[in-house]
Amino acid sequence: MKELPARKRIRLGGYDYSSNGNYFITLCVKDMHEMLGDIVGAGSSRPGSINIHPQMHLSEHGQIVKKWIYELPKKYEFVRIDNYVIMPNHIHMILSLRNDGVQDQGCKGGRDDPAPTIGVGNIMGYFKYQTTKEINIPGFWQRSYHDHIIRNKIEYQRIWTYIDQNPANWENDRYHKK
C-alpha cells in the first residue's frame, strides 16, 4: 500500500484511537468564518471592551457548541472533557478516554461481526453531526479535525495552559484572520 505524504496524513498510522488516554482536539469552522463569538477585553478588536482579561463572548452558535461539549460525557460515559476553549472560528479541547473496550452497539457489521470499539473519530463525528444539525448550517465544520495524542504530564500541562491562554493570544493565533 502506498503511503501518503506526511502533510496529507491525518491520523497516526496504526494507533488505536479508542485507547485510554488524553487527546488534544481542534475543530475549525468551515472557511474559518468567525461564527462562534467574539473575543472581548484587553487587546481585543471589539470597540468599547473594558475587560482586563480577554474572554470569549459566545454567539448563539457558540452556545450550541458549548452545550454539545457538555453532552459528550453524558452520551459516552467513558469520555471526560478535561479542558476546552471555544474561539471565534475554532475550538480546542482535551478529550480524555477511559474506554476499556466499550463497543458501539449501533454499528455492527455482519451478524457475527463484533461491534467496533468507540474511539475519538466516532465521538468527534457525533459532536460535529449534533452541532451542525442544531446550528442548521450544512457543512458548518471543516472536514475532519486535528488531533494530538498527549503522551505525558508535561505535555498535558502545556496544552492545558495553551487552551486557558488562547483568548488572550487571539491577535497572534494562527487561526485568526488578520
Which whole number is the average pLDDT over 96-124? 68
Which whole number is the average pLDDT over 21-27? 96
Least confident stretch, 2-11, 83-92, 145-154, 168-177: 2-11
Residue ranges covered by each domain of the chain: 21-166
CATH of 21-166, picked from 3.30.70.1290, 3.40.50.300, 1.10.8.80, 3.40.630.10, is 3.30.70.1290
Q: Is the pLDDT reported for residue 58 higher than 80? A: yes
Across all residues in the chain, what is the average pLDDT?
84
Residue 94 near residue 156, CB atoms below 8 Å: yes
pLDDT-based confidence at 71, cuts 50/70/90?
very high
Q: Is the pLDDT reported for residue 165 higher than 50? A: yes
pLDDT of 101:
55
Which whole number is the average pLDDT over 32-55? 74
pLDDT-based confidence at 15, cuts 50/70/90?
confident
Least confident stretch, 48-52, 77-81, 84-88, 130-134: 48-52
pLDDT of 178:
67
Kindly report whether the global pTM for this prediction surpasses the value 0.85.
no
User: What's the angle, vertex CA 23, arms to CA 37 and CA 97, rounded to 5?
Assistant: 110
| Better-scored residue on pLDDT, 53 or 143 | 143
Which residue has 478516554 as its cell numbers?
Answer: 97
